[in-house]
Amino acid sequence: MTPSWIQILIVVVLLVLLFGRGKISELMGDVAQGIKSFKKGITEDDEDSDKTAKTIESKPAASTKTTQRRKAKSS
């Protein structure tokens, strides 16, 4: 059951009468700003995780003597 074009037109007219043109455009601007903010947050999160991964990779591995001591203690 798909709404006809007349039903869609009636709903649009009612929305414009209830909220007015200014309120609807203001609401759409707020939605667009929220989407931009969300994308920016996702991008920043990806950059933070990349920095963390690089920090972990750049740490030196344990020396073989330390590894041998740990194995000896656990035996």
Least confident segment among 8-12, 33-37, 51-55: 51-55
Structure tokens at 12: 């649009």
Q: What is the pTM of this model?
A: 0.42
Q: DSSP class of residue 59? A: S
CA distance 63 to 51: 24
Q: Which residue has the higher pLDDT, 63 or 12?
A: 12
Mean pLDDT calculated for residue range 12-33: 85
Give, in degrees to the nearest 5, the angle at Cα 46 between 48 and 40.
105
